[in-house]
Amino acid sequence: MARLSFRPCGSRKALSPLRPLTTMGRGGGGSMRILVVCGAGASSTFVAQRVRHAAQARGLDITATAGTEQSLPIDLDAADIVLVGPQLIPKLDRITEAAAARGTRVILMPADIFRDLDGSRTLALITAPAAATTRSSTDIPSTERTSS
């Protein structure tokens, strides 16, 4: 059975190098750390919980925690991948820049991700190739962007 753990956002631990998903899971040598960020943290809590359950069902060693835009500077230090809620599209470039400085991959979640009740679609975002899921705000049609 996969080891899943919950670590409150903002906890400080020594960073390990980013590991590819192929090294995770049973005997794979480490846990992938996912940070789910939305505006206030309520939606991200549900998404983090669902992705943990989906990962456990697939035997993947993933930790997923919820964070907020305000806690992001601290929480980034403990993440390998950041899933960004669609309500933060106006701030996506800033989030991506801060994450890149730490070697952290950023994935923009689609607007309907909160309907992913079993976490399988969210987990697929994490396991997809990086180029297929990482977007900057300039890649997003202006009709999807909102002002902050």
Give the catalytic positions in this structure: 38
Burial track 81-105 (b if 16+ CB lie within 10 A, e otherwise): bbbbbbbbbebbeebbebbeeeebb
Q: φ and ψ at 62, to 5 degrees? A: -130, 135
| Rounded Cα gap, residues 148 and 2, in angstroms | 40
Q: φ and ψ at 61, to 5 degrees? A: -95, 90
76, amino acid identity: L
